[in-house]
Amino acid sequence: MKNSIKLPLFLLTVVILILGYIYIFNSDKVVIEENGLIQATLSQVQNSNIDISETLFRIEEDKDYYLLKDLNFYLSSYYEGVNSGDINMELLNSEYVEFMRLDKDEILKPYSKFNVVAYDVISYERINGGYVIHLHFRESGDDKRYLKSFSISGRSMSDRPFIRVEEIFRVTESSDYSINVTKKAVFSDYEIYQIDIENLSEGSIYIDGGMFGFNAIKGENKYYHTLESTKLPYELVKGEKRSFLIRFDCLNPEMIQIIIDGEEIRIY
Amino acid sequence: MKNILGVILIVALLGISVLGFIDNRDNKEPVLAEVADVEVEEITDYGDIRIESDTRVGTVVDVEDLDKVLKYLDPHEKQNYQDLLTVYASYLPLCATDKPSDFFSSNIKLIGNYLGLYSIEEFTSLNDLLKSKDITPSSKVSKVQLVNIHQSGAFLEATVRIFYDKAYITMSHVLDYLYVGNEAYLFLYHKGGMVE
């Protein structure tokens, strides 16, 4: 080979090597440009000393994380209210509050110390467009853990697994009384019925105070009742009208009965 | 003579390549900057534009007195807390929008994700505070100072001072360390600002 072309060939080789390096170095940026801004910024984050991409990923992409953060906002606001002894009633579902006739005192009643020091979520499930959350909570100076369920739907919560209220209006009348099953609140695994009873007789009428004084039938099972409204007597004096909230631990019973003055009557 | 011509030719080639590369770089960098600026401008001007994925956070923000948190959280969670503070402080200025109601309703989910803020009343109050401090959507966070942190029941309540280009604001938040089964999550919820 002639000496006159040795040097240009050497320099040409150097140029090709440099161009090759430039091409490889640059191709990374081309990918970033083609795939948009997100990759570029993530790349910048990865190049920083402290990598926060995991946190960003959780906040932006991890559905469990941001769903739980959203749901927990209501739980934490609720327990902050419990601890301060002042629940923000606007947090609570108004339909639920109205049906259950709740006020701040009623909500705070289950908490003896007003100092919930911990709670942890056992499970959460999507029901009817909202979420039902089951958790354990613990109060200061008490080793026991208590089970509690909440529901969160839209921008409000309930401190029970409340789903919805349904209107019913089923009237049963006799010369002595008028019984109206007006509506029910549906929860994830039980229902509460509003039953209005008016005494039309000349004396008192008595509802059986036993477990099956109100009862629900579903299939071959008979469900006993729990009185959810304040512990009023089962006696109604002449002319008295009272609204009961009666809970049955089943969903969609086929029949509801009442034992009144010793007689079992179907009211729904 | 041929030698010299060859060398000149190759040096010229090399020069053109390097110039092309530099030109290429100049073309690429502004593409990113431009997109980011347009996005911030859109967020400022139009309430119906949603906040896109991260465009503000490059590196973790320096937090003064962060060790105060070690009394309540383990070192790994300290880093997690710093990350959350970085995101919180970096995205807070976006709330200085001129159309708070539109902006909030258009971005409610992302505002919850980034800032742990869920009510329009809180958002409006934050918007007023930011504007009173001349903080704008383009303000960049320079550092955060952890003023105090203490335990209240199941929660940690903290106050931080966030420094932007020309101003600082003092903000409160709640930290909740939530267990879901065996998985632990650290959440930061906005609790309003303080007028000083």
Who's near A80: CB < 8 A, 6+ residues apart?
Answer: B152, B153, B155, B174
State the smallest CA–CA distance between residue B58 and chain A in angstroms. 5
Spatial distance between the Cα atoms of B138 and A136, rounded to a whole number of angstroms: 43
In the prediction, which pLDDT does A91 show? 93
> For B33-45, what is the mean pLDDT?
33
Stretches where chain A sits below pLDDT 50 are 25, 27-48
Q: Which of A230, A198, A199, A233 is nearest to A213 (CA)?
A: A233
Spatial distance between the Cα atoms of A123 and A121, rounded to a whole number of angstroms: 6
* pTM confidence score: 0.75
In the prediction, which pLDDT does B109 show? 85
What is the CB neighbour count within 10 angstroms for residue A139?
A: 20
- Beta-bridge mates of residue A266: A257
Spatial distance between the Cα atoms of A46 and A32, rounded to a whole number of angstroms: 13
Task: Compare all CA atoms of chain A with the CA of B9 and give the residue at the minimum distance.
Answer: A8
Task: Compare all CA atoms of chain B with the CA of A81 and give the residue at the minimum distance.
Answer: B153
What is the CB neighbour count within 10 angstroms for residue A99?
A: 19
Q: Please say if the pLDDT value at position B7 is more than 70.
A: no
Q: Kind of pairing, strands A191-199 and A177-187?
A: antiparallel
Instruction: Give me the total of CB pairs closer than 8 Å, taking one residue from chain A and one from chain B.
Output: 150
State the smallest CA–CA distance between residue A185 and chain B in angstroms. 27
**Residues 103-162 (B) with a CB less than 8 A from some CB of A:** 109, 112-114, 116, 118, 152-155
Spatial distance between the Cα atoms of A214 and A64, rounded to a whole number of angstroms: 42
List of chain B residues whose C-beta atoms are within 8 Å of the C-beta of residue A72: 176, 178, 185, 187
- Long-range contact pairs involving A141-147 (C-beta distance under 8 Å, separation at least 24): A141/A113, A142/A112, A142/A113, A146/A110, A147/A122
Calculate the CA A94 to chain-centre distance: 14
Q: Which residue of A33, A56, A72 is in closest CB contact with B54?
A: A56
- Beta-bridge mates of residue A245: A194
Q: Which of B113, B100, B110, B123 is nearest to B191 (CA)?
A: B123
- pLDDT grade, residue B30 (50/70/90)? very low
> Is residue A171 within 8 Å of A178, Cβ to Cβ?
yes
Q: What is the mean pLDDT of chain B?
A: 79
Spatial distance between the Cα atoms of B23 and B30, rounded to a whole number of angstroms: 12
* pLDDT one-digit tens code per residue, B142-196: 999 999 999 999 999 999 999 998 899 999 999 999 999 889 999 999 999 887 7
* pLDDT one-digit tens code per residue, A41-78: 333 333 335 667 777 777 877 888 989 999 999 999 99
Q: Which residue of B17, B28, B82 is in closest CB contact with A19?
A: B17
Q: Please say if the pLDDT value at position B44 is more than 70.
A: no
Structure ipTM: 0.71
* pLDDT one-digit tens code per residue, A34-43: 333 333 333 3
Q: How far apart are the first and last CA of chain B?
A: 79
In the prediction, which pLDDT does B110 show? 87
CB contact under 8 A, B113 and A124: no
- pLDDT grade, residue B35 (50/70/90)? very low
> Is residue B136 within 8 Å of B94, Cβ to Cβ?
no
Tokens linked to A157 = 């919560």
* pLDDT one-digit tens code per residue, B72-129: 998 889 999 999 999 999 999 999 999 899 999 888 888 999 999 999 999 999 999 9
Tokens linked to B137 = 């959507």
